[in-house]
Chains A and B, each alone.
Chain A
Amino acid sequence: DVKVTQSSRYLVKRTGEKVFLECVQDMDHENMFWYRQDPGLGLRLIYFSYDVKMKEKGDIPEGYSVSREKKERFSLILESASTNQTSMYLCASSSSMIYGYTFGSGTRLTVV
C-alpha cells in the first residue's frame, strides 16, 4: 500500500514564525501535492511538484513556498505564519496527474 506520511498531526505556531510541514511518500511517485482544507472552501491546491527540484504554483500559493530536494520528500514552508494560515494541510502523491492520488492524514496547523 502507498503510504504518505505527514510529520505532525497537530501543530501550534506563533504569528511570524517560519513553519515547515514535511511530507514523505514511499512509492516512488513523481508527483506530489500540497492542499489546504477549510470549511466551506473545500480542497485548494497550494503547490505541486512533478519531479525533483520542480514546482508549480497552485491556486493559492501566496505566503507559501515548497522544496523538493529528494523524490520522496515534499516540504511546505510558511515563510512568516499568519492567523489566516490556520488550516488543515494535506499532502498527496501520485504516479499520474489524474489517477491514484494518495493523501496523508493531514496536519492541523493553528497560528496564534
Chain B
Amino acid sequence: DQQVKQNSPSLSVQEGRISILNCDYTNSMFDYFLWYKKYPAEGPTFLISISSIKDKNEDGRFTVFLNKSAKHLSLHIVPSQPGDSAVYFCAANGGSQGNLIFGKGTKLSVKP
C-alpha cells in the first residue's frame, strides 16, 4: 500500500511556463518531505525539502507547498527550462526507522 503517491507518471510543459508536480501522502505523522530529481543513468539528487511546521519553502526557481490538512504537497518550477527535464521523486520520512520512502516519480519534459 503506497504511502507516498505521485499520481501523474508524466508531465509535459513548454519552456518558460510553470511546472507543477503533485504528491499525496497517507500518514499525518510524516513531518518532513523532500523532492529529488533524477536524470537517466545518474543517481537522484536532492532538490528541496519542507518541514511540516511550514507551508512553503522556496529556493530560486523551485518552491514546495505543503497542505497538511489535505496531506498534499506540490513542487512548482518557474520558469521551466529544458534542463529541468528529469524524473522527480517525492519522499517522506515514513519508513520503519524514520527513513525516507519515495513515490513512484513523475517524468517532466520541458519542451523548447
A interface residues with partner B (beta carbon < 8 Å): 4, 9, 31, 33, 35, 40-45, 48, 50, 56, 58-59, 90, 92, 97-106, 108
Contacts and interface: CB of A to CB of B under 8 A. Distances in A.
A45 B99 CA distance: 10
* B interface, over-half SS: loop
Nearest to A50: B97
Contacts of B9: 40
Chain B interface residue bracket vs A: 20 to 34
Contacts, number: 62
Most buried by A among B43, B49, B102: B43
Interface stretch (B11-19, B69-77, B88-96): B88-96
Interface string B14-46: 000000000000000000101010000111111
A48 B95 CA distance: 11
A98 B42 contact: no
7 contacts: A41-B104, A42-B104, A43-B102, A48-B99, A90-B43, A104-B43, A105-B41
